[in-house]
Amino acid sequence: MDYKFSDRIASLQPSAIREILKATASPEVIPFAAGNPAPEAFPVDAVREIGANILMHKATQALQYGITEGYAPLREFVLKYMAQKHKVGKADDDIIITSGATQVMDITSKSFLNEGDTVICENPSFIGSLNCFRSYNAKLVGVEVEKDGMNMEKLEEVLKKEKKAKFIYTIPNFQNPSGATMSLEKRKKMYELACKYDVLILEDNPYGDLRVEGKYIPSIKSFDTDGRVIYAGSFSKILAPGIRVGLAIANKKIISKLTVAKQTADTHTPMFSQMLVYQWLNEYDFEGHIRKIQDIYRNKLELMCSLIDSELGDFVSYHKPQGGLFVWCELPEKVDMLEFVRVAVENKVAVVPGSAFMVDEKEKTQCIRLNFSTPTDEKIKQGMKILGQVKKQF
């Protein structure tokens, strides 16, 4: 049979970049291309205790259908915590528990995007979210990310022009892949522009708790008096990604539509995962655990940056991020970036070519993304040494 796939999915063809990345799945390859948390960052003992407790005392509830909005104690806890700690969530706001933050992008797209509507994205941005927007046949318009976040003049130009813009997609903290953190001024300006041009902001904050230096900056959602910011959070980076628990906090009317969209997508997020997160938040020192993770990642980031300096020296330029999982390195103009990535993979070091994150994959970029959370310290040292060798061929 000759399959007639939808236009939206046909547009997500495997690209040359993804073909390069396929070669990186092998275990002997050093994984600077991944985005997995360090296994030592998982609170394994707590999970064992909580898991045993749920299965002993609440097995039936963990096995039965739940409601689409999510496990009520978890929703209440997170809503209260986010309001008190981060000023995220006002009286008119509500929360939905999702199957990872990825699902926030999916159900927000389903709820707001007609075909051909525009999503304004940081350029570069997280490929998973870009592909999600593409899968709704949205038009993606990229705005350059600077060291302190999106260029606001360019954002306003785009907003003036794009009459069908529905939302601005931003990762304000330790952006994936650029590592950039948006300044307070730019966050305020983005909110002001969203009000002026009457669009929503989809604020994706998976890495917010992974700050390892610099000063806390409040999220855009904390200024939101209009109900125009949809805040996406995740437990993937602070607890564990394999449980797939994320959340959205937004105006009640929006949450009610996201709930309808989630109902058509997966009915609800698994009960065991939700109950696990709730008990962890409620009964364990999760803030202490977050500090522990920050220490792990601070050390790994320092290690990687010192090795970038010693092994790659003037060959690359980068801004050291204040947190997150990635360092975004720019190669010299004369180097063929894709060729550099290919040779690195050939030498068993997987890095992601920057073009994977461009709103238009054909757009030129000299950057590569290096992840420091997945490899062990030993592997970071080995991998950076190899990249130092690869450099000499260019």
19 binds its own copies (CB under 8 A): no
157 binds its own copies (CB under 8 A): no
Q: Name the residue type at position 37.
A: P
131 binds its own copies (CB under 8 A): yes
Residue 41 host element (H or E): none
Nearer to its own copies, 9 or 16 (CB): 9
Secondary structure of residue 345 in the 3-state scheme: helix
Q: Which of 151, 263, 376, 382 binds its own copies (CB under 8 A)?
A: 263
Determine phi and psi for 95, rounding to 5 degrees: -130, 145
267 binds its own copies (CB under 8 A): yes
Among 50-58, 293-301, 341-349, 379-387, which window interacts with its own copies (CB under 8 A)?
Answer: 50-58
Dihedral angle computed from the Cα positions of residues 86, 88, 91 and 96, in that order, rounded to the nearest 10 degrees: -130
Nearest approach in angstroms of CB 91 to its own copies is 15
Nearest approach in angstroms of CB 115 to its own copies is 6
Nearer to its own copies, 36 or 151 (CB): 36
Nearest approach in angstroms of CB 8 to its own copies is 7
228 binds its own copies (CB under 8 A): yes
Of residues 367, 387, 380, the one with CA closest to residue 317: 367
Of residues 100, 124, 237, 105, the one with CA closest to residue 177: 124
Among 102-110, 318-326, 337-345, 352-360, which window interacts with its own copies (CB under 8 A)?
Answer: 102-110
> Whole-angstrom Cα distance, residue 98 to residue 107?
9
Q: Name the residue type at position 381.
A: K
Nearer to its own copies, 36 or 317 (CB): 36
Q: Which of 155, 261, 316, 327 binds its own copies (CB under 8 A)?
A: 261
257 binds its own copies (CB under 8 A): yes
Among 236-244, 296-304, 322-330, 359-367, which window interacts with its own copies (CB under 8 A)?
Answer: 236-244
Report how far apart, in Å, the C-alpha atoms of 282 and of each of 58, 221, 276 are.
Answer: 16, 24, 10
- Other CB atoms within 10 A of residue 107 CB: 26
CA 318 to chain centre: 20
Nearer to its own copies, 111 or 125 (CB): 111
